[in-house]
């Protein structure tokens, strides 16, 4: 990561190391950072959640509708606040429901997570499209925008939310029983089962959690952009997977840490803003992200192979 | 009488175990429903039109079916199809060549080359298929737009061979008002590919290898199947099919836009899983896949007819995938649970 930052600052000396650049970075990190962490949680259990962006869209649309249709400027501020809170609550609750749908299909019917979440990806996005008829919803109360673009002591509000949530997930994965069970299910489901772990229960909670994280991300998203349109943020799916793989999470399950993923997020964001300064066109960026994902996975393959060989040598001597 | 006897002796219980049977009945009920609302649905003209427009999807579905059979998944095939199409159109216009065979050659070569990229990543580095093909989807499509171009080709700019190919018919019928319509050559292409894939899958060592990898990779390897070679075949074959589909697509639309096709992955995958193919491998049939394609295409074309706006399309595709895979895997789960002793969780 340090290498990337140094290269970027050396290549773009006047533009890169500016406070405003870092501030805009901290603005963009939370949205896809939360999605990446949602992806990480599912990958630790050996699954994947392709529906994160669709969950974000659906919950975002519902929250946006509540904000747009129920709040009028003449309302008392306490009432506005209450409705805003209920919009956020509705988004979060709905995102958990989305997660439960995923978890239910995966655990009760034994559907592989890839196919289950591929289906719900279409399903959730489809519902969002039906609700809005494909149009965007714009213009929310000014106070609500504070969540997405406000600042506390110079630090953007979304970034504060992101740090708190990430910290909680870190504690959860490392210090709780459920967190440990998730790693166990990911590295070997059969062994976990014999060790007394209720696999279905763990998986259900995992997908609830990834849904919840996507919901929080959607609240930040709609309040930062001040609009919601179904289909928004589809590039985030690939980026989230890229970040998670970059952060050293094993797609086959069992390994990965929040710290690694946070590193991955920062690397990606640094590159992203570097590309923006260099004014790359979006197609070229799409190409780079795909290429990078593949290169990182190949490097991981060789690293694992090298480690294995080193271990074997150690045993034989 | 003998036929009657045969029908009576047919093992219905066995037939009920197959997804295809259910799908077939759902399709008939669905078709009947649409015919009641709109009697022209079963007219030869409409049927030909359906076959014509679904041939491309069906060809892609055959490719995806093979990948699923081997226990993998491919989402990059749409990017391969559009790359093949767009590069072929570019090459033909730049070289002032107006030859359909050459177009197919270019498109299929591009398809096979990109398929080989997928295969190399998946077989040599043992990367997870979904994430790999998600990466290559982004890479192929981004690369196409960044390095080849973003300009769309209008009907006037297209070489004539495409237009002729898009209108070529096997035989033609005459409408009451004197104009002609016919069954497109697309039906023949689809049939040839379908039979070829079926023969490969059923009667060659390679085909049995594909099924074997899907069933149990370890066992297939120990039985002496060359997994790397088989995976190369699968992904190159998908690329090849995508190349063919790319040319068919441009010929039908008479318009080439590098942003088309990409984004339709879900439709094709929905058709395949609806046909009963399991990603955990080794089961499913080409017949089921074709029924799945028919179902998806008919649904797509007739949503408006049922009285639902096109906004419902995405929703139904998602719903179909969820319901389809749930049924397939639930049967599987119940079967294994009957065998396993420690079912109580």
Q: How large is the ipTM?
A: 0.80
**Chain B residues whose beta carbon lies within 8 Å of the beta carbon of residue A241:** 131, 134
Nearest CA distance, B112 vs chain A (angstrom) = 19
Interface of B with A in 71-100 (CB under 8 A): 73
- The DSSP letter of residue B120 is I
Interface of A with B in 206-225 (CB under 8 A): none
Phi then psi dihedrals of residue A227, to 5 deg: -165, 165
Q: At what angle do helices A199-225 and A19-44 cross, to 10 degrees?
A: 160
Which has the closest alpha carbon to B213: B225, B202, B195?
A: B225
Q: How far apart are CA A166 and CA A171, in angstroms?
A: 9
Mean pLDDT in consecutive groups of 10 residues from the start of chain B, 345 residues? 56 58 79 78 79 89 91 91 93 87 93 95 89 92 90 84 82 71 84 92 88 84 89 94 92 86 84 78 78 86 73 85 83 71 48
Which has the closest alpha carbon to B186: B51, B42, B50, B46?
A: B51
Under CATH, to which class is A2-279 assigned?
mainly alpha
**Chain B residues whose beta carbon lies within 8 Å of the beta carbon of residue A253:** none
pLDDT at A36: 92
DSSP three-state, residue B276: coil
Subunit contact B317:A281, Cβ cutoff 8 A: no
pTM for this prediction: 0.84
Nearest CA distance, A50 vs chain B (angstrom) = 10
Nearest CA distance, A145 vs chain B (angstrom) = 29
Nearest CA distance, A257 vs chain B (angstrom) = 19
Task: Indicate the pairing of strand A227-228 with strand A155-156.
Answer: unpaired
Subunit contact B266:A121, Cβ cutoff 8 A: yes
Nearest CA distance, B192 vs chain A (angstrom) = 29
Best of B138, B272, B296 to substitute, by most chain A Cβ atoms within 10 angstroms, is: B138
Q: How far apart are CA A139 and CA A150, in angstroms?
A: 16
pLDDT at A215: 93
**Chain B residues whose beta carbon lies within 8 Å of the beta carbon of residue A284:** 142, 146
Subunit contact A290:B279, Cβ cutoff 8 A: no
What is the residue whose two structure tokens read 């984004």?
Answer: B263
Q: Which residues pair with A155 in a beta bridge?
A: A152
What is the residue whose two structure tokens read 């580095």?
Answer: B125
Subunit contact B73:A285, Cβ cutoff 8 A: no
Q: 3-state SS string over chain A?
A: CHHHHHHHHHHCCCCCCCHHHHHHHHHHHHHHHHHHHHHHHHHHCCCCCCCHHHHHHHHHHHHHHHHHHHCCCCCCHHHHHHHHHHHHHHHHHHHHHHHHHHHHHHHHHCCCHHHHHHHHHHHHHHHHHHHHCCCCEECCCCCCCHHHHCEECCEEHHHHHHHHHHHHHHHHHHHCHHHHHHHHHHHCHHHHHHCCCCHHHHHHHHHHHHHHHHHHHHHHHHHHHCEECCCCCCHHHHHHHHHHHHCCCCCCCCCCCHHHHHHHHHHHHHHHHHHHHHCCCHHHHHHHHHHHHHHHHHHHHHHHHHHHHHHHHHHHC
DSSP three-state, residue B80: helix
How many CA within 13 A on the CB side of residue A10?
Answer: 6
Task: Please check whether residue A200 touches B, CB under 8 A.
Answer: yes
Under CATH, to which class is B54-324 assigned?
mainly alpha
Chain centre to alpha carbon of residue A137: 23
Nearest CA distance, A28 vs chain B (angstrom) = 21
Length of chain B: 345
Q: Which residues pair with B181 in a beta bridge?
A: B173
Cβ atoms of residues B111 and B241 within 8 Å: yes
Q: Which parts of chain A sit beneath pLDDT 50?
A: 316-317
Subunit contact B139:A301, Cβ cutoff 8 A: no
Q: How far apart are CA A52 and CA A162, in angstroms?
A: 16
Distances (CA, A) of A42 to A48, A95, A99, B100, B122: 5, 15, 11, 47, 22
Q: How far apart are CA B114 and CA B83, in angstroms?
A: 9
Nearest CA distance, A110 vs chain B (angstrom) = 6
**C-alpha dihedral (B26, B28, B29, B31), degrees to nearest 10:** 120
Q: How far apart are CA B312 and CA B314, in angstroms?
A: 6
**Chain A residues whose beta carbon lies within 8 Å of the beta carbon of residue B147:** 287
Subunit contact A116:B325, Cβ cutoff 8 A: yes
pLDDT at A44: 92
Q: Give the count of beta carbons closer than 10 Å to the beta carbon of residue B28.
A: 10
Nearest by CB to residue A126, choosing from B128, B132, B314, is: B314
For A236, the closest chain B residue by CA position comes to: B138
Subunit contact B322:A123, Cβ cutoff 8 A: yes
Helix (H) or strand (E) holding B331: helix B312-339
Interface of B with A in 224-253 (CB under 8 A): none
Dihedral sign from CA coordinates of B153, B154, B159, B164? positive
Q: How far apart are CA B137 and CA A238, in angstroms?
A: 10
Helix (H) or strand (E) holding B163: helix B160-167
Cβ atoms of residues B295 and B30 within 8 Å: yes
**Chain A residues whose beta carbon lies within 8 Å of the beta carbon of residue B319:** 119, 122-123, 126
For A124, the closest chain B residue by CA position comes to: B315
Q: How far apart are CA B164 and CA B267, in angstroms?
A: 28
Subunit contact A114:B130, Cβ cutoff 8 A: yes
**Count of CB pairs separated by less than 8 Å, A with B:** 152
Nearest CA distance, B6 vs chain A (angstrom) = 36
Interface of A with B in 255-314 (CB under 8 A): 281, 283-291, 293-294, 297-298, 301
Distances (CA, A) of B39 to B44, B117, B156: 12, 48, 37
Q: At what angle do helices A177-187 and A199-225 cross, to 10 degrees?
A: 110
Subunit contact A291:B139, Cβ cutoff 8 A: yes
Cβ atoms of residues B94 and B304 within 8 Å: no
pLDDT at B345: 43
Subunit contact A48:B130, Cβ cutoff 8 A: yes
Q: Where are the domains of chain A?
A: 2-279, 285-317
Q: Give the count of beta carbons closer than 10 Å to the beta carbon of residue A173.
A: 20
Q: Which residues pair with A227 in a beta bridge?
A: A138
Task: Please check whether residue A29 touches B, CB under 8 A.
Answer: no
């Amino acid at each position: 990561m340090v290498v990337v930052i140094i290269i970027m600052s050396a290549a773009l000396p006047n533009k890169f190391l500016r406070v405003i650049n870092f501030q805009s970075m901290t603005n963009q990190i939370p949205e896809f950072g939360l999605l990446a962490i949602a992806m990480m949680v599912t990958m630790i259990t050996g699954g994947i959640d392709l529906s994160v962006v669709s969950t974000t869209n659906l919950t975002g649309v519902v929250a946006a509708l509540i904000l747009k249709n129920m709040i009028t400027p003449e309302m008392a501020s306490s009432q506005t606040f209450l409705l805003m809170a209920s919009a956020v609550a509705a988004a979060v609750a709905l995102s958990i429901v989305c997660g439960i749908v995923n978890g239910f299909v995966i655990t009760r019917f034994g559907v592989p997570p890839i196919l289950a979440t591929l289906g719900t990806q279409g399903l959730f996005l489809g519902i969002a499209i039906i609700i809005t008829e494909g149009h965007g919803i714009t213009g929310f109360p000014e106070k609500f925008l504070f969540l997405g673009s406000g600042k506390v002591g110079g630090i953007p509000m979304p970034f504060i939310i992101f740090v708190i949530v990430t910290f909680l997930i870190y504690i959860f994965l490392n210090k709780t029983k459920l967190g440990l069970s998730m790693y166990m299910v990911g590295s070997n489901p059969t062994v976990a089962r014999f060790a007394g772990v209720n696999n279905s229960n763990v998986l259900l909670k995992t997908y609830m959690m990834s849904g919840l994280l996507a919901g929080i991300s959607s609240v930040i998203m709609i309040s930062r952009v001040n609009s919601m349109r179904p289909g928004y943020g589809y590039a985030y799916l690939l980026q989230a997977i890229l970040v998670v793989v970059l952060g050293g999470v094993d797609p086959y399950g069992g390994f990965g840490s929040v710290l690694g993923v946070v590193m991955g997020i920062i690397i990606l964001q640094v590159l992203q803003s570097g590309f923006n300064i260099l004014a790359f066109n979006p197609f070229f960026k799409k190409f780079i992200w795909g290429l990078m994902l593949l290169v990182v996975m190949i490097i991981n393959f060789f690293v694992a192979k090298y480690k294995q060989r080193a271990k074997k040598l150690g045993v034989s001597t | 009488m003998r036929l009657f006897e045969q029908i009576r002796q047919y093992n219905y219980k066995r037939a009920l175990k197959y997804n295809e049977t259910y799908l077939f009945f759902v399709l008939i009920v669905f078709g009947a429903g649409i015919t009641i609302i709109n009697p022209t649905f079963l007219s030869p003209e409409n049927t030909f039109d359906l076959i014509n427009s679904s041939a491309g999807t069906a060809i892609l579905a055959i490719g995806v079916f093979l990948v699923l059979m081997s226990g993998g998944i491919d989402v990059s095939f749409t990017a391969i199809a559009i790359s093949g199409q767009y590069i072929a159109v570019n090459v033909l216009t730049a070289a002032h060549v107006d030859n359909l065979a050459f177009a197919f050659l270019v498109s299929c070569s591009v398809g096979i080359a990109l398929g080989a990229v997928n295969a190399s990543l998946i077989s040599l580095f043992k990367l997870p298929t979904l994430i790999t093909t998600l990466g290559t989807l982004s890479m192929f499509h981004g690369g196409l737009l960044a390095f080849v171009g973003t300009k769309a080709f209008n009907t006037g700019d297209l070489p004539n061979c495409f237009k002729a190919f898009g209108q070529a018919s096997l035989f033609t019928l005459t409408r009451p008002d004197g104009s002609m319509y016919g069954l497109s050559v697309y039906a023949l292409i689809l049939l040839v590919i379908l039979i070829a894939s079926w023969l490969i899958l059923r009667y060659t060592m390679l085909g049995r290898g594909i099924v074997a990898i899907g069933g149990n990779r370890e066992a297939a390897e120990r039985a002496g199947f060359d997994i790397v070679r088989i995976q190369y075949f699968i992904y190159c074959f998908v690329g090849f099919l995508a190349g063919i589909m790319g040319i068919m697509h441009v010929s039908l639309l008479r318009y080439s836009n590098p942003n088309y096709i990409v984004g339709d992955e879900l439709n094709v995958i929905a058709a395949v899983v609806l046909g009963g193919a399991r990603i955990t491998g080794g089961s499913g049939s080409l017949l089921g896949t074709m029924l799945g394609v028919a179902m998806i295409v008919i649904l797509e074309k007739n949503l408006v007819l049922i009285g639902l706006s096109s906004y419902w399309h995405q929703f139904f595709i998602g719903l179909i995938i969820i319901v389809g895979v749930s049924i397939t895997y639930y049967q599987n789960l119940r079967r294994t649970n009957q065998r396993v002793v420690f079912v109580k969780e």
